[in-house]
Structure 1
Amino acid sequence: MIDILVILTCLFIVMSVLRRYSPFQKWMAQRIDNALHKSQLTTILYSPSLRLIPKNANPNDMNNIENFFISNNTSNLKSISESLRQLKEYSIKAHNANGTIFKRTRELSNDMINQLRELQYFSKITKINESIQSNGQMIDLLIESFLNDLVNVNLNSLNNDNKKFLYEQLNDICKNVGYAITPEYQLTKILNFEPDSLYINSDQYRVVEAVSHICRDWSQPFQNERTPIEEFVLNQLETLNFNNQVERNLVVMPGAGLGRLSHNIATKFPSVKVQSIEWSTLMYICNMAIYSTSHDLEIRPFAMHYSGQLSTSDQIRPYEIQTSSITKPNNLDVLLGDFRTYVPSTGVQNGKYETITVVTPFFIDTAENLFEYIETIESLRYHCKTVQWINVGPLKYGTRPLVQLNVEELEKLRKIRGWVDISQLVSTDYEELNGYLTDTKSLYQGYYGLLKFHSKLTNPGM
């Protein structure tokens, strides 16, 4: 009896200590979250249709659904739910960060604080809070548009055995971000919504990145960043004379971000199938929402950028995007998944495309293993007569790259692997440098030189 009491006392003490230990709290919260949403892991979202299919579903439910990826690990319903929660938490997290900036002023003397009042420094912090609130309202529009699409596609447009199951799952997701689904399958907003808890793995850097990319891809002031990329890609595609060929052609664009370049390609070449591929669920949700929202957007992308600003008005200036007038081209598929597992559609005359052209803007240097990207591009030769590769971007390698090739090495590697360069340009002159989400009204501005090449694979598939 004494031994049991000792054991129980020890367990009580250990649990009391662990409850105050932050890593344990995060671990326990993650385990609980996984248990509550385990079924979401086995419900797959198939893009571009937005159809949700449980893994154990009736095979008939897969009718008319194309699967473009060998692996669906990045597109389960849980990843969609997590990304929506992260978007919803933008306002809370950003207000907290801005509150920290305010709290730091308490460490100053009264004379210093009075001088800040004369500078209207605290008024600036208030205006930034208002900008955060405005951005949050814009994000709510994107969330609502995407949820409406999910509900309409999976509950209003279909009759299948999974409808009750999907209704329960979608309703849980909606309730986490301030919405609910009525028994008539209509999306409604929850008044005075407050989340029960914050998502413990929320990555607000990625949220801000996705929202900022809306500006880069769709607002007029960032056209100067898009033009050098668009001009090279569209000019090279024109040399392929798509419209003069009878067989179908495919343009594939991995790392599509918010989708403006793939949109413009599809618009300029309406007879060509265009498939954009994005691995980030946050980017994908924002891209899809842009096509479905009926509201124009106003975004203040630099609101939380305190460093290097010329004035408060510059820091919180809005960018307007006429999203209500943006329509997705019929020949464009917006896909969510890992490009390395991508397989093109087989529904082509004679079983193959005439040409598959891979467009990689600001993409190849994101690879951990650059060879995997190249092998994936080359594997497309088994689905077409000719593979073309058009690249634009810097070689600014990201996290933990296994290999970091320079321009000369990459050119030699293409030759070794059977590619023939049609053109190659390197832009390093000051006048040719290209910004990337650069605040042109700040003291700090970053610009890149661009490697542009167009290559053709000489060893076709069997």
Structure 2
Amino acid sequence: MNGDLANEEKKHFFRIINAYRYYRIYSIKRLEKGKKFFDTLPMYQQKWIPTFSSTYEDMLTAINANNQFITQIIKHSKHVFQNGYDYFDKRYKNEVIKDLHYQIPSQFDMEKVDSTVKQFFRDWSLEGKLERDISYTPILIDLQLLFKEDTFQEISILIPGCGLGRLVYEIAKLGFTAQGNEWSLFMLLASNFILNNCKTINAYQIHPWLHQYTNNYQTTQQTAHIAIPDVNPSDIPENSNFSMSAGDFLEIYTEENAWDSVITCFFVDTAHNILDYFETIQKILKPGGYWINFGPLLYHYADMPNETSIELSYEQIKIAIIKMGFKLIKEKCNIQTGYAQNPKSMLQYLYNCVYFIAQKPK
């Protein structure tokens, strides 16, 4: 590995670890901000909200519970890399940690920590089942229809942008050879913990909506807890082939005709150039292989300063994939779903998603 590239990778790793470690400080600072303002209110107004102090204590308790869970993610992060934590030599590690000790993580990084905690709601809680059923169930049903059951173990399926890995787990549980791919190190550290270190159902309690200070019907909604995982992540057939890869989808997957199916669930709109994703999918699919897609077109880089992005309509996308040679064999539009959405919030974001199956020519 190029020396400069290796150093950048090390810095990135410890930057993410630093953001996770800063979670408690960050959360308490936000909580204290509200309390300090409340303390400046006239005493007669403070008396109108007699539960403010008890709510503050409940928030502190929830912050500490989340932090204990995040500490477990950090503790097991050394297993993410093939060569272990010692992949980062001790001298370099100590120097970087010393530097980061004086750096406050960016708001962007702290929002990533928060969104990762929310992702546990979506992927690994009983309460997130409704979201999963809308997104994952059609995929799981169609996979079983597209391939013969006695060949499942021979069928290789790739799921890029797999987040915390629940869809990969469900596909592997059916007996397929399944590999998840994820670029975000926030997600990779978290998925490593839940997939490789959680052997008991409902082993942890976390508070996914702790940082949602607005649109709460009741104060208890903000501190509500969920139990994770709702299943045992190691509960898959012994002969299952279940793996995860870290890195950029476009850079890692270059082998032609390698996969029987590629599944993109809430993924294709994470590209700078969505057409690059389509080309890679076409290249790595075996002749006759299936591309299954579910999701909206949020386009993560749209309108971001100093970032390039091409934003195509679904109509344009259909034209493009047909011109590329794909055959659209199934399509359903306007499927409403949220994404890591607080079901009790006064504000609901819903996507009208599209689901399609496209086949590469034989």
- Interval containing the TM-score (normalised by the shorter chain): 0.7 to 0.9
Q: Flag the 1:324–1:450 CA change in 2: closer, same or farther, 3 A.
A: closer
SS of equivalent residue, structure 2 residue 168: helix
Deviation at 1:248? 3.9
SS of equivalent residue, structure 2 residue 178: strand
Deviation at 1:344? 6.2
Question: Does residue 1:455 correspond to 2:358, yes or no?
Answer: yes
SS of equivalent residue, structure 1 residue 220: coil
Contact 1:41 / 1:78 at 8 angstroms: preserved in 2?
Answer: no
Cα deviations across residues 17-48 of structure 1 (Å, max 9, x unaligned)? Answer: xxxxxxxxxxxxxxxxxxxxx979527xxxxx
Report the Cα distance in structure 1 between the residues aligned to 2:154 and 2:349, rounded to whole angstroms: 40
SS of equivalent residue, structure 1 residue 221: coil
Cα deviations across residues 169-217 of structure 1 (Å, max 9, x unaligned)? Answer: 69649977xxxxxxxxxxxxxxxxxx94344446100010111101210
Question: Does residue 1:392 correspond to 2:294, yes or no?
Answer: yes
Letter in 1 for 2:219: T
Letter in 2 for 1:251: I
SS of equivalent residue, structure 2 residue 31: helix
Deviation at 1:113? 2.4
Q: Flag the 1:293–1:111 CA change in 2: closer, same or farther, 3 A.
A: same
Q: Flag the 1:324–1:77 CA change in 2: closer, same or farther, 3 A.
A: farther
Contact 2:271 / 2:277 at 8 angstroms: preserved in 1?
Answer: yes
Report the Cα distance in structure 2 between the residues aligned to 1:342 and 1:155, rounded to whole angstroms: 21
SS of equivalent residue, structure 2 residue 146: coil
> TM (normalized to structure 2)?
0.86
Question: Does residue 1:434 correspond to 2:356, yes or no?
Answer: no
Report the Cα distance in structure 1 between the residues aligned to 2:351 and 2:338, rounded to whole angstroms: 6
Contact 1:91 / 1:132 at 8 angstroms: preserved in 2?
Answer: yes
- Matched with 1:341 is 251
Letter in 1 for 2:334: S
- Matched with 1:82 is 15
Question: Does residue 1:226 correspond to 2:139, yes or no?
Answer: no
Q: Flag the 1:209–1:155 CA change in 2: closer, same or farther, 3 A.
A: closer
> TM (normalized to structure 1)?
0.68
Report the Cα distance in structure 1 between the residues aligned to 2:230 and 2:19, rounded to whole angstroms: 22
- Matched with 1:371 is 275
Letter in 2 for 1:218: W
Q: Flag the 1:86–1:362 CA change in 2: closer, same or farther, 3 A.
A: same
Report the Cα distance in structure 2 between the residues aligned to 1:324 and 1:170, rounded to whole angstroms: 39
Question: Does residue 1:207 correspond to 2:113, yes or no?
Answer: yes
Contact 2:153 / 2:177 at 8 angstroms: preserved in 1?
Answer: no
SS of equivalent residue, structure 2 residue 48: helix
Deviation at 1:80? 2.0
Question: Does residue 1:154 correspond to 2:83, yes or no?
Answer: yes
Deviation at 1:104? 1.9
Question: Does residue 1:280 correspond to 2:244, yes or no?
Answer: no
SS of equivalent residue, structure 1 residue 274: strand
- Matched with 1:197 is 102
Q: Flag the 1:324–1:394 CA change in 2: closer, same or farther, 3 A.
A: closer
Cα deviations across residues 403-454 of structure 1 (Å, max 9, x unaligned)? Answer: 32223222222211111011000135xxxx2121221222112222220000
Report the Cα distance in structure 2 between the residues aligned to 1:140 and 1:170, rounded to whole angstroms: 22
Question: Does residue 1:252 correspond to 2:162, yes or no?
Answer: no
Report the Cα distance in structure 1 between the residues aligned to 2:6 and 2:274, rounded to whole angstroms: 30
Letter in 2 for 1:359: I
Deviation at 1:247? 9.6
Letter in 1 for 2:169: H
Contact 1:219 / 1:320 at 8 angstroms: preserved in 2?
Answer: yes
- Matched with 1:189 is none
Q: Flag the 1:298–1:198 CA change in 2: closer, same or farther, 3 A.
A: farther
Report the Cα distance in structure 2 between the residues aligned to 1:100 and 1:363, rounded to whole angstroms: 36
- Matched with 2:212 is 305
- Matched with 2:90 is 168
Q: Flag the 1:174–1:78 CA change in 2: closer, same or farther, 3 A.
A: closer
The structure number with the bigger radius of gyration is 1
Deviation at 1:308? 1.3
Report the Cα distance in structure 2 between the residues aligned to 1:376 and 1:169, rounded to whole angstroms: 39
Report the Cα distance in structure 2 between the residues aligned to 1:122 and 1:419, rounded to whole angstroms: 60
SS of equivalent residue, structure 2 residue 47: helix
Report the Cα distance in structure 2 between the residues aligned to 1:339 and 1:403, rounded to whole angstroms: 18
Contact 2:124 / 2:166 at 8 angstroms: preserved in 1?
Answer: yes
Deviation at 1:358? 0.9
Cα deviations across residues 241-263 of structure 1 (Å, max 9, x unaligned)? Answer: 25445994321111101110111
Cα root mean square deviation, aligned: 3.0
Q: Flag the 1:322–1:344 CA change in 2: closer, same or farther, 3 A.
A: same
Report the Cα distance in structure 2 between the residues aligned to 1:82 and 1:121, rounded to whole angstroms: 35
Letter in 1 for 2:331: Q
Report the Cα distance in structure 1 between the residues aligned to 2:143 and 2:131, rounded to whole angstroms: 20
Report the Cα distance in structure 1 between the residues aligned to 2:43 and 2:136, rounded to whole angstroms: 54
Report the Cα distance in structure 2 between the residues aligned to 1:447 and 1:200, rounded to whole angstroms: 30
Deviation at 1:166? 4.9
Contact 1:146 / 1:292 at 8 angstroms: preserved in 2?
Answer: no
Deviation at 1:221? 0.6
Letter in 1 for 2:241: N
- Matched with 2:6 is 42
- Matched with 1:122 is 53
Deviation at 1:321? 0.8
- Matched with 2:69 is 138
- Matched with 1:96 is 29
Question: Does residue 1:409 correspond to 2:319, yes or no?
Answer: no
Letter in 2 for 1:226: R
Contact 2:18 / 2:105 at 8 angstroms: preserved in 1?
Answer: no
Report the Cα distance in structure 1 between the residues aligned to 2:152 and 2:244, rounded to whole angstroms: 24
Deviation at 1:386? 3.1
Letter in 1 for 2:171: I
